[in-house]
Structure 1
Amino acid sequence: MHRGTTLGILVAGLLSGCAGSPSHEPAPAPPPPPMSQADEGACDADALADWTGRDYRDAMTTRARERSGAERVRVIRPGQGYTMDYRPDRLNLHLDEHGRLVGADCG
């Protein structure tokens, strides 16, 4: 055999082996379920707008949950790590370095 023929057969064999192999990429993840009507308005952070600037006390957590309609409350202090997952039923209370409420949001 000639060198050119041998090389051609080798390249053709390699290419034909790649052409028929199935893809092993994972299927894309399904989209998240749409929010239901029950999820909408599960938390109303605006109900706490008049609390901005107040010193935070642990007793405020229960009142904040009731006032906002949230299922749970998370207190976030400066420099504290926290998850970025969105939960429409969670109220986030943001405090400054002096323990005063500087903002509230849902998520």
Structure 2
Amino acid sequence: MRIWRTVLLVAMSSTLVACGTPRNQSSSPHDEAPPPPNVSGNGSDDACGAESVQDRVGRPLSDALQRAIAEESQAERVRVLSPGEAATMDHRPDRLNIRLDEDDVIVEIGCG
């Protein structure tokens, strides 16, 4: 029994070591992570039209306001994010994110 545990431990360790990136490998500019997305709508990364709807920040979100934001921004997709709600971490420049506080008031509108 002890031999099998040792064999299993060695196999698992070898797998983890093989998955790591060698330290002496030089990285190219293409390996670096891209800059963080602009989620505030205050820059040139405005593929979702967030800049055009920044005046809605501070207002309570309603169905009618959400439709108006989607129409005016001309975003491909609109996602509403409430506090504590699970959300995917994929970055989609054409998606408009509307972040709410606990009272369903818009606290941020941005792309991503």
**Is the shorter-chain TM-score for this pair beyond 0.5, marking a shared fold?**
yes
* 1:102 matches 2:104: no
Q: Which runs of 4+ in 1 moved over 3 A?
A: none
**Unmatched segments (≥5 aa) in structure 2:** 1-17, 19-30, 32-44
* Aligned mate of 1:64, from 50, 66, 69: 69
The alignment yields a C-alpha RMSD, in angstroms, of 1.8
The TM-score normalised by the length of structure 1 is 0.59
User: Does 2:55 correspond to 1:50?
Assistant: yes
CA distance, structure 2, for counterparts of residue 74 and residue 84 of structure 1: 12
Deviation at 1:55, TM superposition (A): 0.6
Alpha-carbon shift at residue 61 of structure 1 (Å) = 2.0
Query: What is the CA–CA distance in structure 2 between the aligned matches of 1:105 and 1:97, rounded to whole Å?
Result: 18
Fraction of identical pairs, as percent? 47
Please give the TM-score of this superposition, normalised by the length of structure 2. 0.56
Count residues with an aligned counterpart: 70
8 Å Cα contact 1:42-1:69 kept in structure 2: no
Measured against aligned partners, the alpha-carbon deviations of 1:11-52 in whole angstroms (never above 9, x if no partner) come to: xxxxxxxxxxxxxx8xxxxx9xxxxxxxx7431212111111
In 2: Cα distance, 1:71 partner to 1:62 partner: 13
Output the amino acid matched with 2:104.
G
State whether residues 46 and 111 of structure 2, in contact with CA within 8 Å, keep that contact through their aligned partners in structure 1: no
- Structure 1 or 2, whichever has the larger Rg, is 1
